[in-house]
Structure 1
Amino acid sequence: MLSLSYNQFSGNISALQSLTLLESLDISSNQFSGNISAIQSLTLLASLDLSSNQFSGNILAIQSLTLLESLDLSSNKFSGTTSAIQSLTLLASLDLSFNQFSGNISAIQSLTLLASLDLSFNQLSGNISALESLTSLQLLDVSNNKFHIPSSLRPFFNLSKLKYFHADNNTIHADDHEMSHSSTPRFRLSSISLSCCGSVGSFPKFLYHQSELQHVDLSNIYFKVDRFPFWLLENNTMLVTLNLVNCSLSGPFQVTSRVHSTLSYLNISNNAFGGNIPARIGAHLPFLVYLNMSKNYFNGSIPSSFGDTSSLQILDLSNNQLSGEIPEHMAMGCSSLQFLGLSNNKLQGSIFSGNFNLTSLLELELNGNNFTGMIPNVLANCSYLYILDLSNNSIYGEVPSWIWNMSELAALDVSRNQLFGRLPQWRGSASNLEQVAMADNQLEGLIPRAICSLNLKLQFLDLSMNSLSGTLPSCFKPGSVREVHLFKNKLQGALPNAFHDSCLLVTLDLSYNHLKGNIPNWVSNLSELSYLLLRRNHFEGEIPIQLCKLDRLSLIDLSQNNLSGGIPYCLKVSALNYAIEQNIWLRSSLDDINSSMSIEVSIEYTVKSRSYNYKRRMLQYMSGIDLSSNKLTGEISFETRNIMKLFTLNLSHNSLTGPIPQVFSNLKDLESLDLSYNNLTGNIPVEFGGLHFLQYFNVSYNNLSGKTPERIRQLGTFDESCYVGNPFLCGSLVGKNCSPVATPLTPKALVGNKEDHGFIDMDAFYASFFACYVVVLLCITAVLYINPYWRQAWFYYIQMAVDSCYYFVVDNFPINFCSGNM
């Protein structure tokens, strides 16, 4: 016997080929690699364990090891077929899991002594009935392959010793012959797992014959049954786990008529169950540890009998239509509860208004209900609370100061309530906070310096849509922050240096405040920045060229400020689906909860002249530049390769000059282009007709000339309002004919060294103006000379005007002043 397991050996195993008398070899959990041809000479082996290495290639070398009784090749990189094991007829245990085997499994049908067979996590396919001859099997795992398995399990009916059958992530299909056969399976399963996909109609009949089941997982199989299979509980009194997630089950939820003393895990989430939750559910299932009934259509109140489940640790009733208050008996009796999810229901009243004993809570999610009242002080006793989500309710009052003393709290969301007052001061106990969201309340005053205690771990901050004023404290420098949302407040002063070293920052939204000064050059340090939103502030100066160093920009909105100068030609903008998507997830602190928390914030951005709120799942497909309503000058110039994936561009309401860049016609993804209210000249590029996704186009109120584009393809969807205010445009859209005179030869075409003034010949204009002026003067002189009456009247009116001016000066200025000038 030779055991070298759990070491750091590497390389090949050629040195083992001389050990021909070995009967047992275990070299598992090392870093050996290469092929296994060296073991073909070890013909006396009865046990061979090569698991958890990096072996690759085929396994033909083992076909000579005919005395093997146990073979473990799991967690390697073997590939090819399994034909080599056909000769190993003495095998009692075979594990080929976590490899890359493919093809059918016909070679296994000769291994009639197998008691344990694990083929999971490969690419095997073919007829599963090849296993029906393995009458000694007790454990069979074929999960995560490409088998087509009949829901009746008919090929295994004769495997009388089978106790554990796992076939997750294959294709489960209905058995067409099940209705015509009434045979009873010989196996008595303890555990069955068929979780994956497929539509099988009703529950397989073999389940009705099982009475020793302990673990059942039939998730993600569409049964289309209109009631809960309570008979599974009544027939299997030793059942511990029942998992029926996403099975298209509907109708009422029923519990057994008597107490079930072993069921501890029940998950029926993501179905279509309706009606009330049985009032006696807690009394009939008193030993539940995990209960998930989320994403159904349950209504009515929460049964107070949940308070009888003193062992319950996980309770998720979210995304239903439950109403009423949280039962006081549940708040007292579920003393072991660690996760309580009641979000997105119709619950109301005060939160935990009565007695409270849920001091073991780690995660409390009550968002999306109609709760009123203040944040209950009894939560201060939950010293291990990790996630607290009370958002989207009608909670009022001030944010209690004890929240900041929750030393384990990592995520706090009280957004979209009616909280008021100032942000409370705290003393640094909340330094473990990673996500803080208090948006859309009525908070006011300064942001306290105590926020600096969050510098170490803070990843997400949302204080938007409040009335906070002043500036961020100078000590606030969160190095790990990824998202900052402070829009729609009353913040003042210059852009704070708080984010100077926030190199992981993805979103910075300071729109709709009163910030002023220049956009700082240190913005180039934010190498991960994707969304820069500074809309409607009082920023001035030039757009910093340092923005060109940001390679991951997706949206930049600097509109409605006082920015001047030119547009940096080197700006780079692309959608996140062409870069790396960034998300902030807070994993559940509980191993039994397969969920995570992400506080999702909408970003307001103007597209097609309207403002929309976009969530991240939409933002990842967007890219845009909005520099409208500033004082920008100069010509429009972009490096085309930096904006090839641009979707929206708004440069309206500036003082930009020069022609419309023809390279815009290369932006094939462009959906919205607004260049209105500038001083642009020249023609509208006819190539814009090739912008097939263009839905909004506006070049009104410029100095554009020439003919409006033909109304073909996408440009055919835009009317005259998109071109109005350009006096030198012609065409049917602006109601002006394009005659040959309307487009004269430019001075450059006539004289190479003269300036081009569009339609006006300036030399002719000056000459004609001077001639007209001289003619008018001569006409006046001639009339006065010829007609003495008009001449007398002219000089009379001149004298009257002089006298009026004199007396006006005498009456309105001091005498000494007037006399001194006479």
Structure 2
Amino acid sequence: MMMMEWKWLRFIRMAVMLLVLEGCRWCTTDACLEHERIALLHLKPFFNYQNQLQSWVEVKGSDCCKWERVECNTTTRRLIQLSLNSSRWFYTTDNRNLNAWYLNTSMFLPFEELKSLYLSGNAISGNLENEGFGKLSSTLSNLEILDLSENYLNDSILLSLSELSSLRYLNLSSNKFEGSGHLRGLNNLSNLKYLDLSWNRIESISNKGLNNLSNLKYLDLSFNNIESISNQGFQWLSRLTKLETLRLSGNSLKNSILLHMRNLSSLKTLSLSYNQLGGKLLHIQELNHLANLKYLDLSGNKIESISNKDGGRKLELTHLEELNLAGNHFNTSVFVSLNKLSNLKSLSIWDNGLKGSIDMKDLEAFINLRKQDMSYNELKDLVIHQDSNVSSSLEEIYLDYSTLNTNILQSIGVFASLKTLSLYHCGLIGPLPNQGWCDLKNLEVLDVSNNALEGMLPRCFSNLTSLRVLDVSRDHFQIPLSFAPFANLSNLKALLINENKMVMESSFYTSIPKFQLEVIRLPKCIASQQLSRKFPTFLYYQYDLRYVDLSHNNLSGTVPTWLLENNTKLEDLILKGNSFTGPLSLSSALISDVSSIDISENKLQGQIPTGICSTFPHLRELFLSKNALKVISHFV
């Protein structure tokens, strides 16, 4: 009997617990807090350009955590992120700001757990009087990210921002800070790790401008009018010992800037592109103190050489992985001054004064080099050695706009790891050789377009089984209609053959290609009347095309609707300038991805079908001009 009573008591206890839990479930809510929902609705009129905030509805109980541009804490259901970027239209003409306005920051006070606030691109000129960002400091103590970029803010906002001591990230780029930027208002933001002041009109920064930002890791001052940082040099910058990224591109800094870099020992990225560095960089050894530097950009200056006064000390950055020297005045001797950069993986030296030949032995120190861009120079040859150290690691070579001998293709096969070879507009002439380049089994991208290469593609072409992108546009190749030379390239995705010549094979070829293309560009390739009714055979076996250009090929017959029906992911179809006849019939099946169709300059007749928009619901462009088509009055 006692046992039975104990079991009943246990059952009653469990039932009560379940009822309590169920009651608690009904007591809590997954919706946002009502006062925060109302506060968002008060914000809506100021940030609702083109009805971007249509999900913000005035329905009591509506869960604002599910509204667009809003993010909530999953536990407390309090707002933690508000993304109102580019949500208010603005227009600039000359120096006049139309629709510029002043923000009342008090509207954000109800969001006490807000961590991230994005307000870029809203034509904000400042704050209403006594309604600056300082009012948020005591209530929004969790605010860490503030994006005010692409507005009309000036120095007057800085004092207000100085009270937001919790900030970790502050973006003030593309505003109207100008002149001698003391920036003292930012000096109180001691927790700041990211600061972007790029694309303003700052001319200089005083010693007391940013010197207290000891936790700063990222600083962007690029594209201002800075000629100097202060009369005392970089003294304030030397205190930013945790700085990892410094961007100073697009200013007016001189060679002496290098003298003030030695204390930035934590720096990993340094960009000094498009300044007024020039001639010999006599103080280049100062950069050798940046032991952790991985990325250095000196492009777009007028530098002629890298050396100190006696020409002996070299750049010795053993951790440097990427070096950009493009758009300067270097000559081929530059490689010797860089031979201590043993960990270099990417070297860009395009658009310089490199002339004549480059002996690849000069690059042997770069045993880890993966990418080399020497385009837009006056190079005539690469002297390539079979036992070169560079040949085992190099994956990308760019030599566009050189004047090379076609023989380079015979020796380039030693670069066994090569994945990208770009020889665009290099003056290559004659047929492709039967050896060398065909040994590049790892090649994925090959561009030999805009040259004068001719003849049939050699049989060894089928060895390039890793090839994904091939561009032979504007050469003089003879391409068989079956595309037999490409049939075994199972990884091929993009084939660009503009303005070459399609020819019939001497023997009938019926093999099904192993590739499934996504892009085919084949304009101005079929001139012969004999071929005008024949589509390239391989097209009948393609089912994954996204972009097709068969324009100006004198193709005749009816419009090839099978291209649309076979390739359900097709987005762009260009059949302009052919000789298609008959009524316009595109497809009866729904093809949702198509956005552009061009069948202009053909010989189509009859009426334009009324169901085009339902067949292609995402169609943005339809070109039908220069046909003999009739427009129906109710065509939409």
Q: TM-score range by the shorter chain?
A: 0.5 to 0.7
State how far apart, in whole Å, the 1-side matches of 2:504 and 2:178 are: 65
Match of 1:276 in 2: 227
Match of 1:505 in 2: 468
Deviation at 1:358, TM superposition (A): 2.5
Match of 1:417 in 2: 377
Match of 2:560 among 622, 640, 657: 640
**1:464–1:122 Cα change, 3 Å:** same
Match of 2:397 among 427, 432, 436: 436
- AA aligned to 2:465 is S
**1:72-83 equivalent positions in 2, closer than 5 A:** 81-82=31-32
- AA aligned to 2:118 is D
Larger radius of gyration, structure 1 or 2?
A: 1
CA deviation profile, 1:133-168 (whole Å, cap 9, x unmatched):
xxxx9x983244799999564357799xx8984323
State how far apart, in whole Å, the 2-side matches of 1:500 and 1:231 are: 61
Q: Is 2:313 aligned against 1:360?
A: no
**1:503–1:442 Cα change, 3 Å:** closer
CA contact (8 A) 1:493 1:516 kept: yes
Match of 1:167 in 2: 117
395-404 vs 376-385, greater mean Cα deviation = 395-404
Q: Percent identity?
A: 12
Q: Is 2:341 aligned against 1:382?
A: yes
State how far apart, in whole Å, the 2-side matches of 1:19 and 1:352 are: 84
**1:337-736 equivalent positions in 2, closer than 5 A:** 337-343=293-299, 345-351=300-306, 354=311, 355=313, 356-396=315-355, 397-403=357-363, 406-427=366-387, 430-444=391-405, 446-447=407-408, 451-452=412-413, 454=415, 458-462=419-423, 464-467=425-428, 470-473=433-436, 476-479=439-442, 481-485=444-448, 487-488=450-451, 494-500=457-463, 502=465, 505-509=468-472, 511-512=474-475, 521-526=484-489, 528-533=492-497, 535=499, 541=505, 552-557=518-523, 559=525, 567-569=533-535, 580=546, 623-625=549-551, 627=553, 636-637=556-557, 639-642=559-562, 646-647=573-574, 649=576, 660-663=579-582, 669-670=597-598, 673=601, 693=623
Q: What SS does the corresponding residue of 1:217 show, helix, strand or coil?
A: strand
State how far apart, in whole Å, the 2-side matches of 1:696 and 1:282 are: 66
Q: Is 2:199 aligned against 1:236?
A: no
Match of 1:199 in 2: 151
CA contact (8 A) 1:483 1:507 kept: yes
State how far apart, in whole Å, the 2-side matches of 1:83 and 1:191 are: 19
Q: Is 2:255 aligned against 1:289?
A: no
Q: What SS does the corresponding residue of 1:381 show, helix, strand or coil?
A: coil
CA deviation profile, 1:141-199 (whole Å, cap 9, x unmatched):
3244799999564357799xx89843236887859873156896483769642226673
CA contact (8 A) 1:120 1:141 kept: no
State how far apart, in whole Å, the 1-side matches of 2:215 and 2:277 are: 24
Match of 2:128 among 155, 178, 187: 178
CA contact (8 A) 2:461 2:485 kept: no
Match of 1:308 among 240, 262, 284: 262
Deviation at 1:465, TM superposition (A): 0.9
- AA aligned to 2:341 is C
CA deviation profile, 1:474-518 (whole Å, cap 9, x unmatched):
752435604433651657764343345536523331653677989
Match of 1:76 in 2: none
**1:223-262 equivalent positions in 2, closer than 5 A:** 223-227=175-179, 230-232=182-184, 235-236=187-188, 238=190, 240-244=192-196, 249-257=200-208, 262=214
State how far apart, in whole Å, the 2-side matches of 1:164 and 1:84 are: 16
Deviation at 1:526, TM superposition (A): 4.4
CA contact (8 A) 2:549 2:573 kept: yes
Q: What SS does the corresponding residue of 1:394 show, helix, strand or coil?
A: coil
**1:262–1:538 Cα change, 3 Å:** same
- AA aligned to 1:532 is L
State how far apart, in whole Å, the 1-side matches of 2:409 and 2:67 are: 57
State how far apart, in whole Å, the 2-side matches of 1:107 and 1:453 are: 69
CA deviation profile, 1:85-111 (whole Å, cap 9, x unmatched):
99xxxxxxxxxxxxxx98799999xxx
**1:519–1:40 Cα change, 3 Å:** farther
Aligned length: 533
**1:416–1:339 Cα change, 3 Å:** same
Deviation at 1:414, TM superposition (A): 0.8
**1:776-791 equivalent positions in 2, closer than 5 A:** none
The normalised TM-score by structure 1 is: 0.52
Structure 2 unaligned residues grouped into runs of 5+: 1-12, 37-54, 89-101, 565-571, 587-595, 610-620, 632-636
Q: What SS does the corresponding residue of 1:436 show, helix, strand or coil?
A: strand
State how far apart, in whole Å, the 2-side matches of 1:317 and 1:208 are: 28
CA contact (8 A) 2:301 2:328 kept: yes
Q: What SS does the corresponding residue of 1:291 show, helix, strand or coil?
A: strand
CA contact (8 A) 2:195 2:216 kept: no
Q: What SS does the corresponding residue of 1:82 show, helix, strand or coil?
A: coil
502-511 vs 168-177, greater mean Cα deviation = 168-177
Match of 2:81 among 142, 148, 167: 142
CA contact (8 A) 1:347 1:370 kept: yes
State how far apart, in whole Å, the 2-side matches of 1:426 and 1:282 are: 48
State how far apart, in whole Å, the 1-side matches of 2:236 and 2:360 are: 39
Structure 1 unaligned residues grouped into runs of 5+: 1-16, 22-37, 44-60, 67-79, 87-100, 109-118, 132-136, 581-619, 629-634, 652-659, 675-683, 698-708, 714-822
- AA aligned to 1:141 is I
- AA aligned to 1:371 is F
The normalised TM-score by structure 2 is: 0.64
- AA aligned to 2:269 is I
State how far apart, in whole Å, the 2-side matches of 1:300 and 1:39 are: 76
CA contact (8 A) 1:509 1:533 kept: yes
Match of 1:41 in 2: 21
Name which structure has the greater RCO, CA cutoff 8 Å, separation 6+: 2
- AA aligned to 1:552 is E
**1:448–1:204 Cα change, 3 Å:** same
**1:217–1:459 Cα change, 3 Å:** same
State how far apart, in whole Å, the 2-side matches of 1:228 and 1:192 are: 27
Q: What SS does the corresponding residue of 1:204 show, helix, strand or coil?
A: helix
CA contact (8 A) 1:243 1:266 kept: yes
